[in-house]
Structure 1
Amino acid sequence: MNITEITLVASHRPETLERILRTVRHRGFTVIDMRMNLESEKIWLDFTVQSAREIHLLVNQLVKLYDVIDVSADE
């Protein structure tokens, strides 16, 4: 299993966190740790995911989400 830490910045809207977590689940990843801060109408999300799948499969989908501003992944 691969464990990867992801940092994501997105616009603050009621449905944003739900959309991000749904994408993580649909792509076959499990969130094993998560921290979120709200600052200047943006959410800063640091989370760790685990999966046998390659991380680029998830990152490529996260960057397509409407409210997502930036995504970076550190293995």
Structure 2
Amino acid sequence: MPLQSDPEKYQNIFEYIIELAASYEEKNRICQFILVDNDVPDHIVNDLSGYIVAHFSSERVNGLPVGFIDDAEE
């Protein structure tokens, strides 16, 4: 049986990272998070679009560019 993605798990992870970044900002400290995920649910992408710097699709969904890993030639 294939694993099912858990949207609440994703939401909790992203919210934690955003709260952690906010705590750094309050202390005038710099931080950067690079999160790579190939299966983020659409509603989370929409809710957090202000935090997304780059968005790729292996299948060019919605005109998105192909990411580096999927762009590799055999």
Normalising by structure 2, we get a TM-score of 0.27
* Bigger share in helix: 2
Structure showing the higher strand proportion among its residues: 1
Structure number, greater radius of gyration? 2
Larger relative contact order, structure 1 or 2 (CA cutoff 8 Å, min sep 6): 1
TM-score (norm 1): 0.27
